[in-house]
Chains A and B, each alone.
Chain A
Amino acid sequence: MKINRRSLALGAAGLTLPGLVRAQSGTIKFGFTAALTGPFNEFGEGINRGAQIAVEECNKAGGINGRMVELAEVLDDQLVPDRAVQNLRRILDNREIVGLMCPSGSGPTLATADMIQADGRPIINPQAQTPTIIYPNGPDKPPRPNLFSISIGNLVESEKLAAALSEFTRIGILHESTGYGVTGADLVRREIMRRKPAARVTVESYNQRAQDMTAQLVRVQRANAEAMLVIGLGADFAVIRRNMSRLNINLALFGAAGAVTVPYIEGAGDLVAGTRAVNHAAFGRRPMHGAAQKFADLYRAKFGTDRWYGPDAANPLISLAGTVGSGYDCINLLIDAIRRISSTAAADVVRALDQTKDYEGATISRISFSPQNHVALKLEDLGTYEMLKRGDRVVLELRD
């Protein structure tokens, strides 16, 4: 049989056509890479669960204009930037993916941000806090066109933390030595100094998973600090709190959002009482706003009162918002944008996201974006909580 160029071209077209048709008429596909396993899977598996709930909810309601939605590519990066880059390459190679969610931490998200921007498809950041993810040239410059964020950004968080610490003059900051910790500590220090130029801030760093923080703590103590802020993850925060107790260091203790998670509460036990921390306000308010309550009910129905939800059916853990709810909101925002614009073309979805106005999310009660503003979380969306011991249970009470 003679094969000429014409028949080859026809054959190639024949092979491609069903894909095109499928892309038009099949499911609407989303993808993401996250820490589904490994020591940080509290966050990655969390957003995965949130995304699953959003997809099931959408499909149960008939999908988007009759088309079902699907999490077509969900890959595990264990919060390792290199692996996140490889995973994202694979996801982006799948041209049927119309919307994405960023990985769970600042390291993997920063490593993939340029790639995502170059690709142009819409992507929403659920958890990574570093401001340069969205604003690579500074917060006063335009954002990356296709990257949006609903996470607790370092900028807003530092403002809230500085406000909470404003009653103290001598403050210690202990931060993990990652991008998240370094940026967060620097922003909080600057914000404290802006509010209170006479304040004395001592900044110390530690490596994740260090088992003893004596050197850092005695340096903070030597600076006569009255209060200390920890910017890091829950397990390390537990090490710090227990270490403080062993050294008889009694300072007012504050934590950033990443710290107020189950590993801290379980690891430090009774010692957590009195710790104050900043996190989403939505889950601390009673009654919770509609979307937050609905999400909590959906989560409990699907996964029960597990490690992410907490043991109290009526009161989900505050951290559920950041660990799971943010994934739910990201996928819902993509669904909402596609539904409004009736298109899955990247430029159209990005344009629709830019026009998002007062969307009721689970973690943020009113989410709005504009071409200049791609960060949804505002100061009023954060709350300062105090940890209290009630019976054998630790509860977080919203203070402001």
Chain B
Amino acid sequence: MDDFFFSLLLAGISVGAVYALIALGLNLTFWTTKTLNFGQGSLMMLCAMLTVFISSQGVAITLAVVGSLAVVAALGMFIERWTVRPSLQSSGGSMGWVVSTLGFGIFLQGMAAKCFGSQAVAFPDVVFNAQDFVTLFGQYISLQYLVVLAVAVALILAFELFIRRTVWGQAVHAVSLDPELALVQGIPVRRLILGSFMLSSILAGVAGVLIAQIGGTVDPAFGFDLVLLGFVAAVLGGMGSSLGALAGGLLVGVISKLVGGYVSTAAEHGIAFALLMLALAVRPQGLFGRPEVSKA
């Protein structure tokens, strides 16, 4: 395989996997509440910055990651309780959750700047460093890229299995279809919603840690652009579909890199997004989404 093409493909798949994780996190809350947490980017940032801070106190990096994920999971519950639930409970289908989740994200950004400083800080290598690689068919493959891909795919597949094969997964599915009927059936809807926000936040945290070790630095503004790309991946794949999130993320990542490599790096996102718009014009429900049917 051409080295040039292979490098672009691998990088595209790797960053695309991170977009997929973000997309899956967005899907989760969309299933249970039909809302999206636009503060996901700040949770990514916070998890990465907390990891840096905790590990700088002499704590093992894996423990630092776990501790940071616990904090963002708790914040996920907070977001559901104080930013999403009030606007959903208000009459008239308020869109206040858009502003409040985004606002909470900006608040977290400010707090991180206050506590950790606003400059970029070095992110430690979690499993491998940038120099670790394997050779496959004569191609040089970074282990950091492979870890990102493996973690993202494993999480998404595990999630898909959870939804399809477990009782709780079926319950989530039921809530996504009709929360009121699910409540009548005795499904703990409130706990499921809370759980979906926690899990969504954990996925954001994992994505933050994965992408921070690729870049090597993290700062309070980290994550905002990535959420946009994750959102695009979710819509392209089909809102609410796990496999769609994976396919959408990988497509956005690979198309961006191929356009950057073969056409122009300046047009990396411009042309890629134009292609995606075209794809959505042909298939508005996304690649794996189902057209919405409304009964009279």
Taking Cβ atoms with an 8 Å cutoff, the residues of A that contact B are 37-39, 41-42, 177, 204-206, 209, 211-212, 214-216, 218-219, 221-222, 234-235, 238-239, 241-243, 245-248, 262-263, 266-269, 271, 307
Contact = CB atoms under 8 A, between A and B. Distances in A.
A239 B225 CA distance: 16
A345 to B, nearest CB: 38
B214 A242 contact: yes
A39 B119 CA distance: 5
Contacts of A239: 215-217
B227 to A, nearest CB: 13
B118 A212 contact: no
19 contacts: A38-B221, A39-B118, A204-B265, A212-B14, A212-B15, A212-B214, A212-B215, A214-B257, A214-B261, A215-B259, A219-B261, A235-B219, A246-B130, A266-B217, A267-B123, A267-B217, A269-B129, A271-B130, A271-B131
B217 A235 contact: yes
Contact of B145 (A41, A211, A246): A246
Contacts of A263: 119-122, 217
A38 B222 CA distance: 12
A267 B7 contact: no
B265 A215 contact: yes
A206 B142 contact: no
Nearest to A41: B118
B188 interface: no
Contact of A268 (B11, B121, B216, B226): B216
Contacts of A248: 133, 140
A307 B133 CA distance: 33
B122 A206 contact: no
Given A41-B118, A248-B140, A242 B4 contact: no
Contacts of B14: 212
A262 B8 CA distance: 29
B272 to A, nearest CB: 11
A38 B221 CA distance: 8
B119 A246 contact: no
B109 to A, nearest CB: 10
B11 A212 contact: yes
A350 to B, nearest CB: 35
A211 B268 CA distance: 13
Given A246-B133, A248-B133, A215 B268 contact: yes
A266 B226 contact: no
B120 A235 contact: yes
B211 interface: yes
B266 interface: yes
Contacts of A307: 119
Contact of B216 (A38, A177, A219, A238): A238
B145 A269 contact: no
A246 B142 contact: yes
A209 B119 contact: no
Nearest to B15: A212
A246 B215 contact: no
Which of B119, B142, B216 has the most C-beta atoms of chain A within 10 angstroms of its own C-beta? B216
A267 B268 CA distance: 25
B205 interface: no
A215 B123 CA distance: 23
Given A38-B221, A248-B133, 12 more contacts: A37-B118, A39-B219, A206-B265, A222-B4, A238-B216, A239-B215, A246-B144, A263-B119, A266-B122, A267-B120, A267-B217, A269-B122
Given A242-B130, A248-B140, A216 B222 contact: no
Contact of A247 (B140, B217, B257): B140
Q: Which 5 pairs show the lowest CB-CB distances between chains A and B?
A: A215-B260, A214-B11, A235-B120, A246-B142, A266-B122
A268 B261 CA distance: 24
Contacts of B122: 238, 263, 266-267, 269
A271 B130 CA distance: 9
Contact of A209 (B129, B133, B225): B225
Given A209-B222, A235-B120, A245 B131 contact: yes
Contact of B7 (A218, A266, A269): A218
Contacts of A37: 113, 118
B41 to A, nearest CB: 12
Nearest to A244: B130
A271 B260 CA distance: 25
Contacts of A214: 7-8, 10-12, 257, 260-261
B237 interface: no
Nearest to A247: B7
B220 interface: yes
Contacts of A262: 119
Interface string B220-255: 111001100000000000000000000000000000
Nearest to B225: A209
Nearest to A211: B215
Contacts of B268: 215
A120 to B, nearest CB: 34
